[in-house]
Amino acid sequence: MPNRVISFGEDFFMLTPESWEEYRLLRNKVTKLVKENKQEHQAQIMRKFEQNPKLLYQIVNNQSKVKPGVSPLQTSEGTTATASAAAEELANFYSTVFCPKECVTLKLHPLLSPNDTLQDMTVNAESVLLILLGLNTKKSPGADEITPLILKQCARSLYTSLTDLFNLSLNCSMVPMDWKCGTITPIFKGGDRSDVSNYRPVTLLPVISKVLELLVANKLTKHLEGNNILSIAQHGFRKSHSCLSNLLLTLDDWTLAIDNGNPIHACYLDMSKAFDRVNHSILLQKLKQHGVTGKLLAWLENYLMDRVIQVRVDGALSKPVAVTSGVPQGSVLGPTLFLIYANDIPNLVRCKIILFADDIKLWASIHTSEDCVLLQEDLNALYDWSLRNKLPFNFQKCKMLNIGKCVEFTYTLGPHRLAWTTDEKDLGVWISSSLKTSLQCTAVYKRTSKILALLKRIFGRFTRQTLPSILNTYIRPTMEYAVQVWSPWLQKDIVLLQRIYHRATKLVTGLQSKPYEERIESLKLFDFCYRRIRGDLILTYNILHTPNHPLQKLFVRREPRISRTHDYLLAVPHSRGNSRRYFFAVRVCFAWNSLPQNVAHSPNLNIFKTNLDSFLSTQPKIEPPHSA
């Protein structure tokens, strides 16, 4: 490269034919060297990945253009010059979300009789040992710098002493101050790197304290679930509940209403920094209302008191900042405590409601204007709840979605008029007013295309051994997240998403010129159509074989008519329109009912997956149901 610049830098436009030939040869030589160097670099990366597939994230992050750490931050006095100054600026910003300490008294009626209350608890040594042996050694330590690796490797030497320590803490209703200090690592979210609001706080707590928290959280959860106290509308942080169950139950009601010709008015409500603004005095009252009393309630009160956070930037720590409200971020107990705090929300409304932690969906099927009035009354009730419980709504993120035939009505949330939208991102899935899945399919395609382009730039080509790991780590999590909710049924969307697999398999060395079907077979992969049907069937197996699964209401069982069919046959619901016909609870019935006995009657999920893969591999090419 330098020779080329020196030879032709000044007289480039006055070259003789001989000089042009010399330039061309040098140019080609340099181009070849650059290409060979790039290929060798990519080959080194691929060899490193093949030797240790667990390094995939590290390799991609090192090769990506995203800079780690915190950049100089804009302040009222200029720009931060040191890591310590940046840490202080971030700590001051994060502290603004907390609410001042305020003692609030609510009139709450106990949900349980005194005989069913949870007054105290004792930690079992075997439970402590089990948790220590199951610690994830990749997790970071808290302020005490005691890593999960140390605790796991020394578990059998430490567990009896830790059990005594935990029981002493619970019996005295005291939490050590060192366990109340959270260390925040700022993670850049995107946008202007000098803006403090573009850094997401990730809080690290001492691992030992989280072990005790897990034991307490398990006890609380067992108490709440055992007494059926938690609302069935809450799908956050509960066993067998998830974003997927939340979305499927929502879409089941919406598609059925649209199929019957009834429009839906849906309210998407968002609380502002809900986890950070929980009022401690109200939370303690609600814990008592839910049957938590005695020493355990006193321990939880002490657990919430006198907590502090510090921000770490490049090794520099900010001064401690008092945490005056909220459930501890990064904790194990925090989610359970928030569920208790928000547990009474569904009891306030008469319309249909569903929650995922602090994300609320409220809707009504609109037959007359009275239904709109009823929905508005429920919004008023929720606004009043937010005032009483000191959790304000984020009005900018609260929206209305009209599904089906347009019915005009103006809704308000307190003083704020709710804006109408034609589509909304609901727990990571785009929902449109037509209930078509095209918007979500396009979003998934764009995101996976960017990921695939980045991987191609880093690795160049894949081997037959590495592509499955690449797909499992980077492509499938995006393409298959809640796919049972938005499985494409328009032909254009099916073709669009199938392109990702076409492009990915073409990047395998030696398979570029092979037909797609041959590439898939050579790599022993199921294509996206198979993967979607497989995902539908696995979820159906889980629903039918899990006692009290929240999605069991989606299905109606029917008796087998011939002896060769299995015992878990499903009645196929009647449907008129495409949004209902291609909804999970309808479309999966055909595939599920066609399974042989040995698959449907599998004794557990792992055996079911094995039997299902064997069955699907013997079937002709699957063409999923679709509409033009």
Q: What is the pLDDT of residue 562?
A: 65
pLDDT 10s digits, 171-220: 999 999 999 999 999 998 888 888 898 999 999 999 999 999 999 999 99
Of 128-132, 425-429, 525-529, the one with minimum mean pLDDT is 525-529
The last residue of a domain, from among 288, 310, 332: 332
pLDDT 10s digits, 222-270: 999 999 999 999 999 999 999 999 999 999 999 999 999 999 999 999 9
Q: What is the pLDDT of residue 6?
A: 45
The last residue of a domain, from among 409, 432, 455: 432
Across the chain, which distance is largest between two alpha carbons, in Å?
102
Q: Are residues 186 and 323 part of one domain?
A: yes
Q: What is the pLDDT of residue 624?
A: 55
Do the domain assignments include residue 321? yes
Residue 340 has pLDDT above 70, yes or no: yes
Q: Are residues 346 and 325 part of one domain?
A: no
Q: Are residues 313 and 285 part of one domain?
A: yes
Q: Are residues 593 and 491 part of one domain?
A: yes
> For the purposes of burial, counting CB atoms within 10 Å of the CB of 185, is it exposed (0-12), middle (13-18) or buried (19 or more)?
middle
Q: What is the pLDDT of residue 622?
A: 57
Do the domain assignments include residue 628? no
Q: Are residues 550 and 513 part of one domain?
A: yes
Residue 202 has phi, psi (to 5 degrees) of: -110, 115
What is the mean predicted confidence (pLDDT) over 96-100? Answer: 94
CB-CB neighbours of 559 under 10 Å = 8
Residue 401 has pLDDT above 90, yes or no: yes
Q: What is the pLDDT of residue 15?
A: 64
What is the mean predicted confidence (pLDDT) over 30-52? Answer: 75
**Side chain identity at 271, as an amino acid letter?**
M
Q: Is 403 helix (H, G, I), strand (E, B) or coil?
A: strand
Residue 7 has pLDDT above 60, yes or no: no
**Residue 558: pLDDT band with limits 50, 70, 90:** confident
Q: Are residues 523 and 460 part of one domain?
A: yes
Structure tokens at 396: 């900018």
Residue 552 has pLDDT above 90, yes or no: yes
Q: Are residues 532 and 399 part of one domain?
A: no
Beta bridge partners of 462: 508
Q: Are residues 8 and 132 part of one domain?
A: no
Do the domain assignments include residue 579? yes
First CA to last CA across the chain, in angstroms? Answer: 55
Q: Are residues 362 and 394 part of one domain?
A: yes
Do the domain assignments include residue 624? no
Rounded Cα distance, 532 and 582, in Å: 13
pLDDT 10s digits, 262-294: 999 999 999 999 999 999 999 999 999 999 999
Q: Are residues 218 and 143 part of one domain?
A: yes
**b/e per residue 123-145 (b: at least 16 CB within 10 A):** beeebbbebbeebeeeeebbbbe
Do the domain assignments include residue 64? no
Number of compact structural domains in the chain? 4
Q: What is the pLDDT of residue 5?
A: 46
Q: Are residues 346 and 296 part of one domain?
A: no
Q: What is the pLDDT of residue 12?
A: 54
Residue with tokens 């009657």: 601
Count CA atoms closer than 13 A to 384's CA, side-chain side: 9
Q: Are residues 107 and 45 part of one domain?
A: no
Percent of the chain surpassing pLDDT 90: 73
Do the domain assignments include residue 312? yes
The parent domain of residue 29 ranges over 2-51
Residue 4 has pLDDT above 60, yes or no: no
Q: What is the pLDDT of residue 163?
A: 98
Do the domain assignments include residue 240? no
| CA proximity to 536, closest of 426, 429, 622 | 622
What is the mean predicted confidence (pLDDT) over 18-46? Answer: 80
Element (H, E) at 432: strand 429-432
Do the domain assignments include residue 61? no
Rounded Cα distance, 127 and 159, in Å: 9
pLDDT greater at residue 628 or residue 149? 149
Averaging pLDDT over each range in 6-20, 41-55, 551-565, 590-604, which range is the top one?
Answer: 590-604
Q: What is the DSSP string of 499-511?
A: HHHHHHHHTBTT-
Averaging pLDDT over each range in 4-18, 78-92, 350-364, which range is the top one?
Answer: 350-364
Residue 462 has pLDDT above 90, yes or no: no
Of 143-157, 378-392, 410-424, 503-517, the one with minimum mean pLDDT is 503-517
The last residue of a domain, from among 36, 51, 66: 51
**Residue 1: pLDDT band with limits 50, 70, 90:** very low
Asked if residue 344 lies in contact with residue 111, where contact means CB atoms within 8 angstroms, the answer is: no
What is the mean predicted confidence (pLDDT) over 286-304? Answer: 97
pLDDT 10s digits, 351-400: 999 999 999 999 999 999 999 999 999 999 999 999 999 999 999 999 99
